[in-house]
Amino acid sequence: MHKATTDPEVEGSVSGQLGDILQSKDPPRRPAGRLIMHGLAMFGREFCYAVEASFVTPELLSVGLPKSLYSLVWLISPILGFVLQPVIGSASDHCQSRWGRRRPFILSLGIMMILGMTLYLNGDTVVSAIFKEQEKKKTWAIIITMLGVVLFDFSADFIDGPIKAYLFDVCSHQDKERGLHYHALLTGLGGALGYVTGAIDWGPSMLGKLLGSEFQVIFFFAALVFILCITLHLCSIPETPLKGSKEESKLLLKHDEFYQYGSVEQVKNGYVRPQGDKPKSDYVLGEVEIEQTDTQIQKRMTLKSLLKAIISMPPHYRCLCVSHLIGWTAFLSNMLFFTDFMGQIIYHGNPYAEHNSISYLTYERGVEIGCWGLCINAISSSIYSYLQRVLLPYTGLKGLYFIGYFLFGLGTGLIGLFPNVYSTLALCSLFGVMSSTLYTVPFNLITEYHREEEKLLDDENKEDRRGKGVDCAALTCMIQLAQIIVGGGLGFLVSAAGSVVVIVVFASAVSLFGCCFVAFFVRYVE
């Protein structure tokens, strides 16, 4: 074992040579076609999300899940996500796959999404073919459907962080902004197509007769679209693997703790190393000796150090996370139960009635019209994502953030006060403003924070940068926390109020509170 060197000349030589090896370069400009291919992952993800939002709540109710418990199905995956999302973000920051840092995670989560979709869209049919006893059939249908929802929701929420970090890794600052706008545009288009697919009655069609049922047709389209989109996304922009030499990689990973929230040095889209004045490992350049195993190093990095990093996040990051939590709590509480709201309140149907009864068929009709409303939301989201670029010079990010929250709060409030088919469908266009805002403005602020920090660094430490995977993970963790709040609270509110109208009223109140928060507490870079 070599003695730890304390010679400043040796340390300076090591630092200088590693600095040359890991010299940061701004990524080249990316063609629009490549950025669109990259954004197709969001198109496919949102298409599948639209299918879930349209059918999961009605499907859970139709298989017999009690109304007092139906919101709790959203609790399991967000709890796991809230705990594991930062760990996944840090792991992707340090992944040494030859295929890159982010793409292995995106592929794995994509496969899990398809498996989850398979379970919740086909589980009832499979259970009906296996079990003849009504009680067993009901129990297993609920279990399989819930398992599919949890797996899909877990994967779909997790995949957003690596997708955003992938974009930030391989693009210049200008391309990051362009890429986020393409993401928002394609997210809206994917959602619109997904809701249209859900709104069509596929039962009497040729495909419906061929595949067996409406849900099988929808699963066929959703799986096909997602597989195509995720394939094009993974082939869009190459990543540089996190590998120089074996010794360099071990040296860069070897460190006891992060000294600030998510602090890593990011270079050439692939190489990262922890920040610190004096690494505690014993080394000489070219002959590295590690005191502990790679497993011990990785465990310390992703658990102890990462938790310390998140707890010590800068105040402006914390405020941005809180505003994101408020926005997603309002948005999800409305969107996850919107088709059920249309079926029960607007159309006065009953999801618990016999499936061949007028009351149940009326409820199904309301769910279909709700899908058209969500389609309007997705189309308006795409249009507004384009208008954001026009409005940005006049309103700034602060104005865009405030407008998104205010219009959503106004729209949901009016729907709760005046539950009419036509006014509700018209007001669905305001939902898209919120959707586009949540998918773009917070991540634009993250890039502005990174850019500002890089400018403030002196020349000696100019290569030190915050870990983008950790930052994206911390922000997207708020989506899981919002789902926990929605899943744990809305079932109780519905039971206490005796009507699902309370859902849109709650969404409106939370969103209007968010207006005040983004105006007074979120920090904007001038």
Residue 186 near residue 40, CB atoms below 8 Å: yes
Q: What is the mean pLDDT of residues 70-78?
A: 70
Comparing 498 with 290, the larger pLDDT belongs to 498
**Cα 485 from Cα 474, distance rounded (Å):** 17
Q: What is the mean pLDDT of residues 266-293?
A: 40
Polymer length in residues for the chain: 526
Residue 313 near residue 494, CB atoms below 8 Å: no
Q: What is the mean pLDDT of residues 363-390?
A: 86
The band of 469, judged by pLDDT with boundaries at 50, 70 and 90, is low
Q: Residue 191's closest CA among 373, 421, 330?
A: 373
The per-residue pLDDT for 465 is 52
Structural domains in the chain plus CATH codes: 31-239 (1.20.1250.20), 303-458+467-525 (1.20.1250.20)
The per-residue pLDDT for 219 is 87
The band of 519, judged by pLDDT with boundaries at 50, 70 and 90, is very high
**Cα 450 from Cα 172, distance rounded (Å):** 12
Position 4 pLDDT exceeds 60: no
The per-residue pLDDT for 301 is 42
Position 165 pLDDT exceeds 70: yes
Position 415 pLDDT exceeds 70: yes
The per-residue pLDDT for 414 is 93
Range from 71-80, 260-269, 352-361, 377-386 that averages highest in pLDDT: 377-386
Position 78 pLDDT exceeds 90: no
Position 302 pLDDT exceeds 50: no
CB neighbour class for 8 (10 Å; exposed up to 12, middle 13-18, buried from 19): exposed
Residue 205 near residue 217, CB atoms below 8 Å: yes
The per-residue pLDDT for 368 is 83
Q: Residue 38's closest CA among 163, 206, 157?
A: 163
Phi first, then psi: give them for residue 347, nearest 5 degrees.
-100, -5
Between the CA of residue 343 and those of 63, 191, 295, 419, 497, what are the distances in Å? 16, 20, 52, 12, 18
Pick the range with the lowest mean pLDDT from 29-38, 339-348, 434-443, 459-468: 459-468
Q: Which residues of 178-207 are buried (b: 16+ CB within 10 A; e: fewer)?
A: bbbbbbbbbbbbbbbbbbbbbbbebeeeee
Q: What is the mean pLDDT of residues 296-306?
A: 45
The per-residue pLDDT for 330 is 94
Q: Parallel, antiparallel, or unpaired: how do β-strands 283-284 and 271-274 relate?
A: unpaired
Residue owning tokens 């519905």: 494
Position 333 pLDDT exceeds 80: yes
The band of 6, judged by pLDDT with boundaries at 50, 70 and 90, is very low
Q: In this structure, how many other beta carbons lie within 10 angstroms of the beta carbon of residue 410? A: 16
Comparing 467 with 219, the larger pLDDT belongs to 219
Mean pLDDT, the chain, whole residue set? 76
The band of 69, judged by pLDDT with boundaries at 50, 70 and 90, is low
Task: Report the largest interatomic distance among the alpha carbons of the chain, rounded to a whole angstrom.
Answer: 85
Share above pLDDT 70 across residues of the chain, in percent, rounded to a whole number = 75
**Cα 66 from Cα 351, distance rounded (Å):** 11
The band of 270, judged by pLDDT with boundaries at 50, 70 and 90, is very low
Identify the DSSP state of 302: I
Q: What is the mean pLDDT of residues 23-52?
A: 84
Position 306 pLDDT exceeds 60: no
The per-residue pLDDT for 70 is 62
Residue owning tokens 């197709």: 40
